[in-house]
Amino acid sequence: MTQESLTEKLAKHLMRPVDEATRQRARLHLLDWLGCVAGARQSDLAEQQLGYKEENIASKAAWLGNIMEMDDIHRSSILHPGPVIWPTLMVGGQYAMDDILDAAIKGYEATIAIGSTFDDCHYRFYHNTSTAGVFGAAAAVSSLYGSDLDKTVSALGLAGSVSGGLWQMRHENTDAKQWHIERALSNGGSAGFYAAHGAVGPRFILEGPQGLYAATCENPKRITFPRKWRIHEVSFKPWGACRHAHPAIDAALELKAKLGSLDGEVLVETYADAITFCDRPDPQTVVDAKFSLQQAVAVVAEKGVPELADFEQDAIAAFAKARRRVTVKAAEDVTARYPEHYGARITCSGQTFDLVDTQGDPERPLSRDGIIGKARALIAWGRLPDVEADRAIDLALNGDDPEAIHKMLRDWLS
C-alpha cells in the first residue's frame, strides 16, 4: 500500500462539510478584511497601486490588505490568513455566497494547518503568511472548482513547490511584505486552477527529501486535524500596530487604569519574538512606528487608547520624548507561554501588570459590535463616506451576492 502523504491527509480533512455557524464566523473575517483594504486607501502604496491601470481588483486588494497592520492573525502559526484568502476569492459573480464562504474556511484551514507545523528556524527567516498562505489560496480555489481529493492534493503540491518569502524585508524600507501577499494568492490560485484542469503536483511536498520541511525547518511540528474549523481560532486585531506590540499596549492600558497615569520610567517585558520584531526606539517611518514597542507604549502613556493616527509620520515626532521613557526586554516566562499566548508585563512607579492574553484573541474576543466598529473606523480612515461602511457591513454580514462585494471593491479601488 502506498504511503499517504501529509497533503493527502490534509485534503481529506478539507472535504468535510461546513456548518452555518462557521460560515457566520467567516463573514466577520470578510468584513474585517474589507475594512483593512478600505483603510489602506490613503497609504503611499495605495496611491501607486490605485493609479496602476491593471484591472485585477483582487490583486490590488491583496496589496492593501495588511498595510494597516490590523489584519486577522492566528497565534500559534504566527500568520495572517485573511489578507491572502479573501482576495483569492474575489473572482466575480459565478459562485454562490456559501461557496465563497466554504472556500474561505477551507483556505484558512489549510493555511493554519501547514503554518502551525513550521518551527522557530522557519520563522527566523521566512514570512509564514507567505509560505503557508500559498497553500491556503490553492485549497480555497480547489474548493471553488469542486476539485476531488487527488486534484486538491495536486493543487497543494504545486503551490508548495513555489512557497517562499524571506524576512529580509524587515531590515529595509520596501513593499516586499505586501508583494508576498499578492504572490501567495496568485501562485496558490494558479495552482488550484491548473490542478483542477489536470496538472499534477508532488504529493510529498511537505515531508519529502527535497520538500519544504527539508529546505526550511529543523524540527517541523506534527500536523493536526481538529474537528472544529480553525477559523474559530483566528484573532481580530484592535490596534493599528504589529500584533507583537498589542500585548504591551493592552498591559499598559491596564496598568494606567490602575495607577491613573504612566508618568515615570516604563519597563516592558515580553516574549523574544516581540523584541526581535518590535524593538525600535527611534522609528523613522510609519512602518517602523507600527513595529515599535516604544511608540505603542508611549502612546498609551501620553494619551491612552491608541488611534490609527498615532502610528503615522507626525506622531513619530510627537511621542519621541515619551518613547525615551520606555525600556523593553525579553522575559523567559512570557516567552515560554508564546505562541499559544501573546503576553507582556508592564512596570511603572513600582507597580506591575502581567497580561497573559491579548484583546481580540479567543480568550478575550472582540464582540460582533467591536468588529463592526473597527470596520467603520477603518473605512472612515480610508476617506470613504459612512454609506460605504453601511454597504460593506450589509454585504459581508447579510449579503448573498459575491459579485456585489466585487463591485464594491472596484468602486473603492478603481
Cell of 227: 474537528
With b for 16 or more beta-carbon neighbours within 10 A and e for fewer, the 270-306 pattern comes to bbebbbebbbbeebeebbbbbbbbbbbbbbbbbeeeb
Asked if residues 330 and 272 have their Cβ atoms less than 8 Å apart, the reply is yes
Asked if residues 188 and 138 have their Cβ atoms less than 8 Å apart, the reply is yes
Domains and CATH numbers, the chain: 6-238+365-413 (1.10.4100.10), 243-355 (3.30.1330.120)
Sheet holding 326-330, edge to edge: 326-330, 266-270, 344-348, 351-355
Collect contacts of 229-232 with beta carbons under 8 A, ≥24 apart. Answer: 229/18, 229/19, 229/22, 229/25, 229/105, 229/108, 229/109, 230/74, 230/108, 230/109, 230/112, 230/113, 231/22, 231/25, 231/26, 231/29, 231/81, 231/104, 231/105, 231/108, 231/109, 232/22, 232/25, 232/362
Asked if residues 313 and 326 have their Cβ atoms less than 8 Å apart, the reply is no
Q: Please give the Cα distance from 232 to 190 (Å, whole number).
A: 27
Asked if residues 118 and 165 have their Cβ atoms less than 8 Å apart, the reply is no
What is the pLDDT, as a whole number, of residue 120?
A: 95
What is the pLDDT, as a whole number, of residue 1?
A: 39
181: amino acid identity, one letter: I
Taking the chain (414 residues) in consecutive chunks of 10 residues, what is each chunk's mean pLDDT?
A: 89 98 98 98 80 76 94 97 97 89 98 98 97 98 98 98 95 93 97 98 98 98 98 97 97 98 97 97 95 98 97 96 98 97 97 97 97 98 97 98 96 92
313-333 pLDDT tens trace: 999 999 999 999 999 999 999
Q: Please give the Cα distance from 230 to 362 (Å, whole number).
A: 11
Q: 282: which DSSP letter?
A: S
